[in-house]
């Protein structure tokens, strides 16, 4: 990208939670953002010159092409994509139906794989393309029965981030998986009684994302585990 403050970043699921915090942070630090949201008309525009809100549904296999085209029309380049849109179905692998499996994998795994494939030529052109996958500590370990179906999808999402990291090496594309424990969003607070104030804050994740976008190609970071508490390994 031209310099560290003028890149163009696509963020999926930017209507609320972690995605919205990433958008606010990047806008405040001079980036241009293209927000992919299911209901873009309901998303606040903080910076009309450097922000567009586009319709994107991870379950609509054509919406990513429209979103990419709108981003190029508005800003002329794409330097980074933040795969943030995601869902949690709190079911164990023994309880989950085939339909629940398919839905979870469609949103958490297939959609970021498809979007990466379509945006790849533009990241290559950037010379310092960045991919950030919002994975989870559930992509690193299976913490509970209730989270086990979700964990399967996030293990796959982690593999996707590593695969893209390998593929992008020669072209200056750096791919990183951020793996948080509980984050204080609608998703995080619905899953546990832990007070939101104790959890990792969405704004903390936003600082990590901005750091990944700002670092030069010589700093290739595979994973960032980040936890609100201390577990044996995380
Ligand atoms: N919160 C946590 O504790 C936690 C921990 C580890 C990892 N993560 C991961 O971090 C990411 C963001 O989570 P969050 O906590 O911010 O969740 P959230 O508050 O539930 O927000 C989820 C976001 O994803 C969007 N989304 C869901 N399904 C979508 C679809 N089919 N197409 C497009 N957008 C879709 C939602 O859009 P709508 O507003 O339209 O519903 C919303 O913007 C997810 O990948 C999640 O798995 C979260």
Helix (H, G, I), strand (E, B) or coil at 106: helix
Residue 62: CB atoms within 10 Å: 8
Q: What is the pLDDT, as a whole number, of residue 63? A: 97
Residues 6 or more apart whose Cβ sits within 8 Å of residue 175:
130, 131, 132, 133, 161, 162, 164, 165, 168
Cα 88 to ligand 1 centroid, rounded to whole Å? 8
**pTM for this entry:** 0.98
Indicate whether 1 pLDDT > 50. no
150 catalytic residue (yes or no): yes
Give pLDDT, residue 49.
Answer: 97
Of 150, 155, 182, 228, the catalytic one is 150
* Predicted local confidence at residue 204, as pLDDT: 98
**Tens-digit pLDDT profile for residues 106-128:** 999 999 999 999 999 999 999 99
As a CATH number, domain 8-226 is 3.40.50.720
Ligand 1 in reach of 64 Cβ (< 6 A): no
The proportion of the chain whose per-residue pLDDT surpasses 90, expressed as a percent, equals 97
Query: Does residue 150 line the site of ligand 1, with CB under 6 A?
Result: no
Instruction: Return the domain boundaries, the chain.
Output: 8-226
Distance 69 CA to ligand 1 centre (A): 23
Sign of CA pseudo-dihedral 22, 108, 182, 192: positive
pLDDT at 5 over 80: no
């Amino acid at each position: 990208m031209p310099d560290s403050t003028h890149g163009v970043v696509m963020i999926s699921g930017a209507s609320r939670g972690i995605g919205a915090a990433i958008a606010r942070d990047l806008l405040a630090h001079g980036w241009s953002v293209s927000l992919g949201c299911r209901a873009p008309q309901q998303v606040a525009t903080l910076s009309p010159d450097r922000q567009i809100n586009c319709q994107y549904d991870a379950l609509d296999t054509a919406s990513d092409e429209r979103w990419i085209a709108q981003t190029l029309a508005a800003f002329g380049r794409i330097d980074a994509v933040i795969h943030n849109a995601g869902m949690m179905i709190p079911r164990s692998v023994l309880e989950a139906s085939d339909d629940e499996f398919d839905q979870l994998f469609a949103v958490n795994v297939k959609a970021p794989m498809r979007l990466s494939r379509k945006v790849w030529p533009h990241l290559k052109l950037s010379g310092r393309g960045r991919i950030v996958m919002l994975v989870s500590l559930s992509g690193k370990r299976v913490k509970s029965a209730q989270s086990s179906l979700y964990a399967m999808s996030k293990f796959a999402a982690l593999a996707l981030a590593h695969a893209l990291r390998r593929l992008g090496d020669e072209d200056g594309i750096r791919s990183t998986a951020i793996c948080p424990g509980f984050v204080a969003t609608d998703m995080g607070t619905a899953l546990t009684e832990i007070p939101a104030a104790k959890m990792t804050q969405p704004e903390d994740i936003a600082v990590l994302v901005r750091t990944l976008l700002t670092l030069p190609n010589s700093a290739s970071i595979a994973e960032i585990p980040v936890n609100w508490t201390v577990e044996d390994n995380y």
